Copies of this chain bind each other. A is one copy, B any other.
């Protein structure tokens, strides 16, 4: 299996995991089967579509390559069908979600850098790709985005994106750079979950 194949498999695993997170949120809101697939689809592919618009990959790969949408649809349907059993899998899902965050952020930062976007912009595009799907999922289901509330999530993505941008200047070869950054993001996220790390919160002004 070539490096390219490894990356493709990793990408589709990320799509499946994010689709499952979106599908679960939609089931909990009692959406119908199509709503569950739709939210799963947006959670899995929304960030990547935005990224492709930003770096002028048109049509976005999520529409150009059928494997992306089929993977997202199948994962969402499995969640719809087998949801009751999924609670027991919650821990695995959180782990896989962290893996997806890492892979999406690292791969997208690299794609943006290779498309000629400057370093700061590439980091932001990479982070948006990683967190964008969860953001869309929360907006569609009427929640204030969890990623913006009390957890180390986007911060982990941003740190990993910066690592990719720094390595890209040195330069470190692409594939190890991407995989190491993905593992780094995933590790920070998992450790933060276990230790219940939170980023600081401002005290709102009592007079506001």
Interface residues of A (CB under 8 A from B): 26-36, 38-39, 41, 49, 53-56, 58-60, 62-66, 69-70, 80-81, 83-84, 86-87, 112, 115-122, 124-125, 135, 139-145, 147-151, 154-155, 158, 198-205, 207-208
Contacts and interface: CB of A to CB of B under 8 A. Distances in A.
Query: What is the total number of copies of this protein in its complex?
Result: 3
Nearest to A151: B32
Contact of A31 (B34, B70, B148): B148
A208 B30 CA distance: 13
Nearest to A204: B28
Given A34-B155, A39-B148, A199-B33, A59 B59 contact: no
A64 to B, nearest CB: 6
B38 A148 contact: yes
A181 to B, nearest CB: 18
Q: Name which of A39, A158, A201, A203 has the most chain B CB atoms within 10 A of its CB.
A: A201
A interface secondary structure, majority? helix
B155 A201 contact: no
A69 B120 contact: yes
A117 B208 contact: no
A125 B63 contact: yes
A158 B37 CA distance: 12
A120 B69 CA distance: 8
Please list the 6 inter-chain residue pairs (A to B) with the smallest Cβ-Cβ separation, ordered nearest first. Answer: A63-B121, A35-B148, A32-B199, A66-B120, A56-B58, A142-B144
B205 A86 contact: yes
A124 B72 CA distance: 12
